[in-house]
Amino acid sequence: MKKIIVMLSLGVLVAGSSFAQTAPQKDKKARTEQRGPGKGQDGKEKRTPEERAQLRTERMSERLELNASQKQKVQALHLKQAKEMQAMRADAKSKEDAGKNREAMKARHVQYDAELKGILTPQQYAKYQADQAEMRARFEKRSQEKGQRFKGGESRQQRS
């Protein structure tokens, strides 16, 4: 009798554990398939250079309180830069190209800053530089946190 009870309980445990491990699988696609063609990392549609230039100009206009003339000049500058960056990214096929492109992009950014300085007032340009420094600091902080997570640092659950 004891053997039968032990065997039945063992059978129930095995059957229960086998059902517990087979969760129903949802029809999940790979991340790239979910995003689809023409979509960025966050799954949103990639913006055209014109859309990117418009968004950047609107943000800058709000932040720096640009007048109509400045806004028009900044819009043209952003559009020019967006088109150039898109062309540079399209040209970068290998890591070697990416390294060369990175230097070209840095040079282009220096040129952009010089052109922007000619459009903005000294007060607006100072505020722009402060915003850029703050953004760089946030980026570096996030980069360091990301690196620590993979090097035995705190995990996402610990930070939340």
For the chain, the average pLDDT equals 78
Helical segments of the chain, H only:
2-20, 31-35, 49-64, 68-91, 95-119, 122-150, 156-159
What tokens appear for 148 in the block? 């620590």
What tokens appear for 7 in the block? 């065997």
pTM as predicted:
0.59
The label of the residue with tokens 């029809």 reads: 27
What is the per-residue pLDDT across 15-34, written as a single tens digit (0 to 9) for each?
776 666 555 555 555 554 55
- The helix or strand, by DSSP H or E, that contains position 84, with its residue range, turns out to be helix 68-91
